[in-house]
Amino acid sequence: MGLCKCPKRKVTNQFCYEHRVNVCEYCVVQNHPKCVVQSYLLWLQDSDYSPECVLCKKNLSEDECARLSCYHVFHWDCLDEYVRDFPDTTAPAGYKCPSCSESILPKQNLVSPVADALREKLSTVNWGRIGLGLPLSSEDSGKPMRKTSPKTSLEKSVSENQSAGGSSCSSEDIVVHMEENLHQRNEASATVPRRNPHGTAGEKVVLLDEDESKYRRRYGFLRLSLWLKFLQNQLSFSKRGPRGVCKAVILVIGLFCLLCVIFSFLGNAMTSDDPAFELHNDPNVRFN
């Protein structure tokens, strides 16, 4: 940071490499329009500079210059020609500074004397007026933007078909082949059996049954885990005396009987619908 020596006495961090003084934005526009001006910290890191235009390699003092919002300065004619070499399909945001790749167009909310001077120069050319949102001017005497006319795929295919002989015959063969494939596909699809209109309702019922059985199994496992925890607690209480031992023995016997009843019930349920266990199907058993 430094103090500018102009009557405004503004604090600034911009430094003129040629005159080696701190300069404010007003002095940059009025007294140093063609000087190399950058940050004072950059000058402390590297004080070497080139007073030439990056685009034409000529001295900046030989022609009118334009300073961008990044403080890089170029010959105005060189910068204008540089932008006009872009394709006409390039958006205004694609106009980049040749030195630092920052946007050539200043931001709309940027308020500074450097940005105002740049906007004044950009308003003299149509590509700058487009970037600033201004209407086009008929006084722009520069060379037009480079136009690009890429061929579309449709035009390319039409020209190839016109240049190649016998292409219409090949296209007809392709169409016939596609039609045959369509007929074969229709025949194959005709062999597919018709879907049952009541199939969706049946599927919903099956899904509901599966969900109910799932919750029943989960409820059964929950009850079993509770019983096991209760048994564990009773066994831990049995260590306190003979009364606890009696309770544990009775509980184990009751649990064993309960398991026997459950297994017998499951066995009867599994064999109740099995025809192999019915007496009427046994040839060795006779009924009078």
Residue 182 has pLDDT above 60, yes or no: no
Direct distance between the N- and C-terminal alpha carbons of the chain, in angstroms, rounded to an integer: 122
Domain, as residue range, for 280: 220-288
Nearest by Cα to 125 from 147, 98, 104: 104
The answer to whether 123 and 129 are in contact (CB under 8 A) is yes
253's tokens: 């016997």
* More confident of the two residues 256 and 151: 256
The 10s digit of each residue's pLDDT in 34-74 is 999 999 888 888 888 899 999 999 999 999 999 999 999 99
pLDDT band at 8 (very low <50, low <70, confident <90, very high): confident
Burial of 211 (0-12, 13-18, 19+ CB in 10 A): exposed
CATH code where residue 58 lies: 3.30.40.10
- CB neighbour list of residue 125: distance below 8 Å, 6 or more residues apart: 80, 140, 142
Quick one: 22 and 58 in the same domain?
Answer: no
CA dihedral 168, 171, 176, 177 (to 10 degrees): 150
Quick one: 43 and 91 in the same domain?
Answer: no
Look at residues 147, 175, 210 and tell me which one is the last residue of a structural domain.
Answer: 147
pLDDT band at 274 (very low <50, low <70, confident <90, very high): low
